[in-house]
Amino acid sequence: MVEPKILRGKTSMVLYDGSQLNGVPEAWFQESFWQNRDAVLTTVSGRGSVFVLDSQPNTWVLRHYRRGGLVARFVDDHYVWLGAERTRAFREWRLLASLLKQGLPVPRPVAAAVFRRGPVYKADIITTYLRDTHSLASLINDTLNLGPALEKIGRTLRAFHEKGVYHADLTAHNILLDLSNEVYLVDFDRGAFRRPGSWCQGNLDRLKRSLRKVAAETGTNLRESDWQRLKFGYGA
């Protein structure tokens, strides 16, 4: 079980899992700290950079919060300070802890940090790395072999929705499958618990648009029969 503990600094706060760690140095949230130790295993492109870290004996993922959309042209990674528990990092960390407690397949939260400067803050989060997993986006050009996996993805999404879990960015990049076709959801920034409603269908519609986009980028097509297999799993 995740055991939340908080370290308070002059301009920072760190929320971490006390069942795994005795404390968390602020340096852990700096890319340079891991690079100097040759501990960055890989970098994942995205809105910002996501780093997979060799933290011996564990493997972690470090993600810096960055803005998206039009606002990102003017503000890269600053957010308005409204209190630590309302920061994106703390909210995602606590959401992941709650989802794990309910038995849902998500990465375990390790630590989250917020660094305040006057009315704004920056934030980072560290989670466990899900070994031997690949994103659905990276597998989409192999849909002929994805049939059973698509049904399982549908069942997994239904499990999240039945518990009222809203994923703000449900795309093919944030659904992972391991070698046994176990399904995981990642990146719960801006995620929340909601009463089930029309947003559930909105989640599915967003995923379908994402699958079509990825398929087009890889020179393939999302077949309606493939999408119906996912929907069958969701309905089943």
Q: What is the DSSP letter of 1?
A: -
Give the closest residue to 109 by CA, choosing from 156, 62, 66: 62
Q: What is the pLDDT of residue 34?
A: 97
- Measured CA to CA, the distance from residue 169 to residue 120 in angstroms comes to 24
What percent of the chain clears pLDDT 90, i.e. is strictly above it?
83
Residues 104-116: tens digit of each pLDDT? 999 999 999 999 9
Predicted confidence (pLDDT) at residue 47 exceeds the cutoff of 60 = no
pLDDT digits (tens, 9 = 90+) for 26-42: 999 999 999 999 999 99
Give the total residue count for the chain.
236
| Buried residues in 123-157 as b, exposed as e (16+ CB within 10 A) | bbbbbbbbeebebbbebbeebeebeebbbbbbebb
Q: How far is CA 218 from the centre of its chain?
A: 23
The predicted pLDDT at position 141 comes to 72
Residues with active-site annotation: 169
For 95-106, write each residue's pLDDT tens digit: 999 999 999 999
| Better pLDDT: 39 or 221 | 39
What the block records as the tokens of 222 is 């999302």
> Quick one: what percent of the chain has pLDDT higher than 70?
93
**pLDDT classification of 45: cutoffs 50, 70, 90:** low
Residue 148 or residue 157, greater confidence = 157
